[in-house]
């Protein structure tokens, strides 16, 4: 479809290819895009709006809740809770699931989201993002926690909005990955990146190397391998780490590379959450030809047992993730060192 097509038109055209589609999904994506426009407006004037700084409260993870986290969390609820598409929502900012109240019509979709990932970066003008994941509910009536504790393979849609030098919405419904750039002058997301494909092997690795002493040796061996000088295999890679998952992921999606957030002795499951960070990005990266793993198995196959469950995350170019897994599973090691298996969580 041609550059400049609006998001709404693109979704409708895409949905036409699924005769069973009811238009509900189109409506939900459109509502999320509306919320994104408002968040983008406030992010882009953060220093002038009442969205910087902290609320003084901490969330279920013991993290300081930024004003923007709270604002964006509520905004997504109020944009989507009354239109009859959702049965319930869950978010990083809410301890428990949020069933759609009786006063509103209920639909068949489940929305899981991180309203503003990397929000602590808002005060220093670094790109941040919203991540979302959509499932069809399982319960015949009402909605329960089990409707949310799903393997990523059951997602019907996933996406993120990155609030950066421009605001982009990137999503998949299982038919490729498509990117739309917000034109603030008309308030529309316009097609700018159709059918994004991640390079099979990259040039960047993204990790917080301050944590390296706590990593399993196998992960340290892998990162050292990336640093070796071997032009034939495109090494050394360049280190690029913004500390904002959506920004690091987006760069690697377009340019190729691997993002690593391993578990460690202190936090075996690492820091990132499965349901509203790892799984939606895993759906996107697989649709773009890449891969996402916890070191042992695809992220998309992991079955969450808790709403805010964490997972180690290695995500990006397929060949890079495959090499990481060889190191993590002890199948590969630097010359002269025996392979060491990363403890499975
Ligand atoms: P660290 C932001 O807080 C976040 O959740 C992700 O956006 C980012 O990738 C990660 O944490 C950064 O964590 O430990 O490197 O500061």
Question: For ligand 1, is residue 61 a contact (CB within 6 Å)?
Answer: no
Residue with tokens 């892998």: 222
pLDDT for residue 49:
59
Q: Nearest C-alpha to atom 4 of ligand 1 is from which residue?
A: 118
Question: For ligand 1, is residue 280 a contact (CB within 6 Å)?
Answer: no
Q: Nearest C-alpha to atom 10 of ligand 1 is from which residue?
A: 243
In sequence order, which residues have a C-beta less than 8 Å from that of residue 95 and are 6 or more positions away?
A: 59, 60
Number of neighbours of residue 266 by Cβ within 10 angstroms = 7
Q: What are the DSSP E strand ranges found in the chain? A: 54-58, 64-66, 86-91, 98-99, 109-117, 128-136, 157-163, 167-172, 177-183, 188-193, 204-206, 238-239, 258-261, 291-293, 313-316
Angle at 33 between CA 27 and CA 37, to 5 degrees: 145
- Domain 7-193 sits in CATH 3.30.540.10: yes
**pTM exceeds 0.85 for this model:** yes
Task: Please determine, for residue 6, whether its predicted confidence score (pLDDT) is greater than 90.
Answer: yes
pLDDT tens string 47-93: 665 556 666 677 777 776 668 888 999 999 999 999 999 999 999 99
Question: For ligand 1, is residue 208 a contact (CB within 6 Å)?
Answer: yes
Question: For ligand 1, is residue 118 a contact (CB within 6 Å)?
Answer: yes
pLDDT tens string 165-224: 999 999 999 999 999 999 999 999 999 999 999 999 999 999 999 999 999 999 999 999
Question: For ligand 1, is residue 245 a contact (CB within 6 Å)?
Answer: yes
Q: How far apart are alpha carbons 317 and 93 in whole angstroms?
A: 30
pLDDT for residue 123:
81
Among candidates 337, 342, 341, 345, which has minimal Cα distance to 224?
A: 337
Number of neighbours of residue 335 by Cβ within 10 angstroms = 4
Helices and strands in the chain, H and E counts: 7, 15
Domain ranges of the chain: 7-193, 204-328
Q: How far apart are alpha carbons 274 and 326 in whole angstroms?
A: 22
The domain at 204-328 falls in which architecture? Answer: 3-Layer(aba) Sandwich (3.40)
Cα 80 to averaged position of ligand 1 atoms, centre (Å): 27
């Amino acid at each position: 479809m041609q550059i400049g097509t609006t998001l709404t038109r693109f979704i409708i055209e895409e949905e036409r290819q699924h005769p069973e589609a009811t238009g509900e999904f189109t409506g939900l994506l459109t509502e999320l895009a509306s919320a994104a426009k408002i968040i983008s407006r406030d992010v882009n004037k953060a220093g002038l709006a009442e969205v910087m700084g902290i609320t003084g409260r901490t969330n279920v993870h013991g993290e300081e809740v930024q004003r923007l986290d709270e604002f964006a969390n509520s905004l997504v609820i109020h944009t989507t809770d009354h239109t009859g598409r959702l049965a319930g929502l869950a978010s990083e900012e809410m301890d428990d699931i949020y069933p759609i109240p009786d006063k509103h019509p209920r639909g068949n979709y489940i929305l899981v989201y991180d309203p503003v990932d990397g929000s602590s970066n808002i005060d220093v003008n670094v790109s941040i993002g919203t991540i979302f994941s959509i499932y069809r509910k399982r319960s015949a009536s009402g909605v329960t926690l089990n409707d949310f504790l799903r393997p990523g393979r059951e997602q019907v849609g996933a996406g993120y909005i990155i609030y950066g030098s421009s605001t982009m919405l990137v999503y998949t419904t299982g038919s490729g990955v498509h990117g739309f750039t917000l034109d603030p002058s008309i308030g529309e997301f316009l097609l700018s990146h159709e059918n994004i494909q991640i390079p099979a092997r990259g040039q960047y690795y993204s990790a917080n190397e301050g944590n390296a002493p706590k990593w399993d040796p196998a992960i340290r061996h892998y990162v050292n391998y990336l640093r070796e000088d071997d032009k034939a295999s495109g090494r050394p890679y360049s280190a690029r780490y913004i500390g904002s998952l959506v920004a690091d992921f987006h760069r690697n999606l377009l340019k190729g590379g691997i993002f690593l957030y391993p578990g460690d002795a202190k936090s075996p499951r690492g820091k990132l959450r499965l349901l509203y960070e790892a799984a939606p990005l895993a759906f996107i990266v697989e649709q773009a030809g890449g891969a996402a793993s916890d070191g042992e198995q695809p992220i998309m196959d992991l079955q969450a047992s808790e709403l805010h469950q964490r997972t180690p995350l290695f995500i990006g170019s397929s060949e890079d993730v495959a090499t990481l897994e060889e190191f993590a599973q002890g199948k590969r090691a630097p010359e002269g060192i025996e392979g060491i298996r990363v403890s499975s969580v």
